Every structure is written in structure tokens, then in C-alpha cells.
């Protein structure tokens, strides 16, 4: 049965979607952007934005009873591939053992003018 996952510790959805959906032991986390859920602010720079995105993902994982070790796939959307190396340095801190499969793309633009968005799939 499909279960909607929602936590105040990650940004509210800014459209007709859920923060995450859990079904059959799988968690599908919608693309997270670097909005601080307590202040609504977006940090400056790709490393700070990546850190905030990973914290938002962590909050959703926690709410659903998962953690980073359960993540099997990430898709990173970047406003500019020139930010890939700096993003990767922060991202790697969260997946230092058995990292998930991943794709990274440059896109024309992202919501609210952010530099990064990451969607995530986790499995128990």
C-alpha cells in the first residue's frame, strides 16, 4: 500500500507532489532543493546548497525509518556542470561506503534559481 511521507524537517512541496512515497519497502524521495525548512532561506554556493539538500534528504529518510545506507539511486540535477566537483565533495561525505548508483545532469534551470536538486530512491 502506498504511504505518503511528510516531515516539517524538509521543505514543503512547492507543487502537486509529495516529499516522498513509500511502497513495498521502497522509498521514492522527490527532488530536494536547498531550502532550509526552518527559515525558508537558500544558502550561497554549491557546497552549502549540496549540504542543505543532503540534510533535507536525511530528514525525509529518517521520517520514513530509513537512513543513507538504504539509498540505492540518486539523480543529481545541476545548474552548471562546472559545479560537479564541488558538489561531489559534499555528496561523498554522506556515502563513503557502498555509494548508491547515481546520475548527474546539467539542466537549463532549477526551481527558485538554486544550483542543485537531488532525487533519491531507498530500499529496505
Give the pLDDT confidence of 34-74 residue by residue, as tens digits: 999 999 999 999 999 999 999 999 999 999 999 999 999 99
Q: How confident is the model at residue 14 (pLDDT cuts 50, 70, 90)?
A: confident
Q: What dotted CATH number matches 3-123?
A: 3.30.1330.40
User: Rounded distance, CA 37 to CA 53, Å?
Assistant: 11
How far out from the chain centre does Cα 57 lie?
A: 4
Indicate whether 22 pLDDT > 90.
Answer: yes
> Of the candidates 41, 39, 33, 36, which has an alpha carbon nearest to the alpha carbon of residue 15?
33
How far, CA to CA in Å, does 54 sit from each of 50, 51, 120? Answer: 6, 5, 10
Q: Which percentage of the chain shows pLDDT scores above 70?
A: 100
Q: Is the pLDDT of residue 104 over 90?
A: yes
> pTM of this prediction?
0.96
Kindly state the average pLDDT of the residues 81-96: 97
Question: Where along the chain do its domains lie?
Answer: 3-123
Please report the DSSP string for 35-101 in residue order: --TTT----SSHHHHHHHHHHHHHHHHHHHT--GGGEEEEEEEES-GGGHHHHHHHHHHH-SSSPPE
Cell of 88: 561531489
How far apart are alpha carbons 7 and 27 in whole angstroms?
Answer: 14
Provide the mean pLDDT of the chain. 97
Position 120 scores a pLDDT of 98
Amino acid at each position: 500500500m502506498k504511504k505518503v511521507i511528510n516531515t516539517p524537517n524538509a521543505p514543503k512541496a512547492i507543487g502537486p507532489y509529495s516529499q516522498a512515497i513509500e511502497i513495498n519497502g521502497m522509498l521514492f524521495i522527490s527532488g530536494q532543493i536547498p531550502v532550509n525548512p526552518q527559515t525558508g532561506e537558500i544558502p550561497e554556493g554549491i557546497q552549502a546548497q549540496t549540504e542543505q539538500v543532503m540534510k533535507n534528504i536525511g530528514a525525509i529518510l529518517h521520517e520514513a525509518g530509513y537512513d543513507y545506507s538504504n539509498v540505492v539511486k540518486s539523480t543529481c540535477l545541476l545548474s552548471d556542470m562546472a559545479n560537479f566537483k564541488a558538489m561531489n565533495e559534499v555528496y561523498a561525505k554522506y556515502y563513503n561506503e557502498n555509494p548508491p548508483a547515481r546520475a548527474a545532469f546539467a539542466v537549463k534551470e532549477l526551481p527558485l534559481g538554486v544550483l542543485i536538486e537531488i532525487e533519491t530512491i531507498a530500499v529496505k
